[in-house]
Amino acid sequence: MVDFKKMISNILAQEIGVIGEEEIYNIIEIPKHTEMGDFAFPCFKLSRLLRKSPNMIAEELKEKIKCNELFEAVSAVSGYLNFTINKQFYAKTVINEVLEKKELFGATDIGKGRTVIIEYSSVNIARAFHMGHIRSTMIGNSLYKIYKFLNYNVIGINHLGDYGTQFGKLITAYKLWGNKKDIEERGVDELLRLYVKYHDEAEKNPLLDDEARSWFTKLENGNEEAYEIWKWFREISLIEFERVYRLLGVSFDSYAGESFYSDKMPAVLKELREKNILTKSDGAEIVDLSEYGMPPAIVTKRDGSTLYVTRDIAAAKYRKDTYSFYKNIYVVGSPQKLHFQQLFKILEIMGYDWANDLVHVDFGTVSLEEGSLSTRKGRVVFLEDVLLKAIEMAKNIIEEKNPTLENKELVAKQVGVGAVVFQELFNNRIKDYTFSWSKSLAFDGETGPYVQYAHARCCSIIEKAGDIDIYDVDYSLLTDSSSMEIIKKLYQFADIVIDAHDKYEPSLITRYVTQLAHCFNKFYHDNPILTNDLSLTKARLALVYAVKYTLKNGLNLIGIEAPERM
Ligand code: ARG
């Protein structure tokens, strides 16, 4: 895309001389009030260098530049030089770019040649895939798409919680109270029942914990029976998780979870010991982090078994060796902030300078509206149940609004799931939020269906236009204020994507598509698109195409489908 700021800094650099183009580029601002123009160059710095008042400099520059045909107006106001881009040029530049790039509009290749790891979802085997997991799953999925869009080589990893003492407990419970048939029939529900029962019983009978520990030790030592049961639980769980991932449209390049590192632990321990990083404490081995204001990290327990953080040390090293990452990003909730601070510090102490390339992308909690869903187990809300209910509700709405729609089932899925995901990604990730059914599925306001509907509306206009082409568009017909509002929004898209990438913040894109849909609906409300005037129709149709592509690209980056009809 033509970078207007660059264009202006280039022109200014020729006139100014004393400071370079790049510096000028960085000084140029976008005025808060549009009447001040599209871009503004503050002359205060120059004033010091040239020993002239900012006003005078702005006035002089204005006289030199004002005749440039790229600008509709150049004005000098209180030390600023304001530029208003010629609207027709603006419209033509932006719309041509969108129509040419289509599904790649907004993409750049800043990631070329760089590998980034995004670790997300990382659910725990044999446990519920609950509503809270939507956060890591969808924030990570969106970051995955954003990084891909920017041409990074991206590796998505689901760091499954498939190892640890809890599996000793689960195997104990299974041996005591479980049977094959129930697990085959009821899957994770049955594993959960066993796990809950274990905890109830262990309160009365502390000997159970010894039994559990010994099963986990067997598992760590490669005992066949322990391994077979564990493997089976893992498979059963994954089948159910896959169902949820399919609903969400999420996938991974690797499921290397905690167990994947079990055979890599001895080498890690050896290295830690050789580097003199471990201290004995009560039979356990710890890394003392008091110097850095952190509690110690326990690396092995008294019985020699490893812990969560030990496996994370191994995982980080493995990822560096295997992928030679530029960044390794962990999308994990805020409660694990300390864990990651400790992990990153330990790797730094081990002497790895790439510890600086590890990023913890944290987020707040999601809760559900009071009484909005009865739970299967009375404890947690399964994400799958939330999604299925949303799909059901979307189906009812479609049945009511558009009963003759083709592919109703598919569209209901796209709208229902999209509604939940949209709300998930609407606020800054660090904010806690309460999921609301009524808000998420409304067709107006800041919702997924609202944005999807704007996209479908674009598609339907295009379909109605039939074979009217959009060649030879007269861009002077798009210089009215509501068209220009859309065009300026479109122009921002690439910057928004970069900003979302810099801040690991998908919500910037969610908000952007909402605003774009809003501008478009306003335009659509005031302006007929298919008119009797062919030139006008073509121009407006070109705008509709551009909005359609951009909405679709934006929705895609946050992991939401864009149905063509709904
Ligand atoms: N399975 C963990 C949990 O549910 C999250 C894993 C986070 N990733 C990591 N590399 N530690 O809490």
Residue 169 one-letter amino acid: K
d(CA 339, CA 285): 16
User: Is 332's C-beta closer than 6 angstroms to any atom of ligand 1?
Assistant: yes
User: Is 161's C-beta closer than 6 angstroms to any atom of ligand 1?
Assistant: yes
CA 12 / ligand 1 centre spacing (Å) = 52
Residue nearest atom 1 of ligand 1, based on CA coordinates: 161
In the chain, pLDDT over 70 holds for what percent of residues?
98
User: Is 312's C-beta closer than 6 angstroms to any atom of ligand 1?
Assistant: yes
**230, 215 contact by CB (below 8 A):** no
The tokens for 2 are 């033509």
Out of 206, 235, 264, pick the residue that ends a domain: 235
d(CA 451, CA 566): 12
d(CA 334, CA 429): 10
The tokens for 338 are 């300390």
pLDDT-wise least confident of 23-32, 369-378, 536-545:
369-378
Could you tell me the pTM of the whole model? 0.95
In the structure, what pLDDT confidence band is assigned to residue 104 with cuts at 50, 70 and 90?
Answer: very high
CA 119 / ligand 1 centre spacing (Å) = 9
Which is nearest to 85 in space by CA: 151, 34, 25? 34
Q: Is residue 335 part of a domain?
A: no
pLDDT tens profile 424-463:
999 999 999 999 988 899 988 899 999 999 999 999 999 9
Overall average pLDDT of the 189-193 stretch: 93
Overall average pLDDT of the 82-102 stretch: 96
Which is nearest to 58 in space by CA: 45, 71, 72? 45
The pLDDT assigned to 536 comes to 97
CATH code of the domain containing 548: 1.10.730.10
Residue nearest atom 11 of ligand 1, based on CA coordinates: 312
458: how many CB neighbours lie within 10 A of its CB?
Answer: 27
**490, 516 contact by CB (below 8 A):** yes
CATH code of the domain containing 31: 3.30.1360.70
Out of 27, 56, 85, pick the residue that ends a domain: 85
d(CA 547, CA 555): 12
User: Is 319's C-beta closer than 6 angstroms to any atom of ligand 1?
Assistant: no
ipTM associated with this complex: 0.99
User: Is 250's C-beta closer than 6 angstroms to any atom of ligand 1?
Assistant: no
First to last CA, the chain: 32
Q: Is residue 378 over pLDDT 70?
A: no
Residue numbers of the domain that contains 422: 383-557
The pLDDT assigned to 165 comes to 85
User: Is 135's C-beta closer than 6 angstroms to any atom of ligand 1?
Assistant: no
Helix (H, G, I), strand (E, B) or coil at 256: coil
Q: Is residue 490 over pLDDT 60?
A: yes
Helix (H, G, I), strand (E, B) or coil at 427: coil
Among 119, 332, 358, 361, name the best residue to mutate to test ligand 1's pocket (greatest count of ligand atoms within 8 A of Cβ).
332
Mean model confidence pLDDT for the chain: 94
In the structure, what pLDDT confidence band is assigned to residue 380 with cuts at 50, 70 and 90?
Answer: confident
pLDDT-wise least confident of 32-46, 141-155, 314-328:
32-46
The pLDDT assigned to 373 comes to 61
Q: Is residue 97 part of a domain?
A: no
Give bridge partners of residue 435 from the DSSP assignment: 368
Q: Is residue 242 part of a domain?
A: no
Q: Is residue 149 over pLDDT 80?
A: yes
Are residues 79 and 193 both part of a single domain? no
Residue nearest atom 10 of ligand 1, based on CA coordinates: 312
User: Is 330's C-beta closer than 6 angstroms to any atom of ligand 1?
Assistant: yes
Q: How many domains are there within the chain?
A: 3
Q: Is residue 147 over pLDDT 80?
A: yes
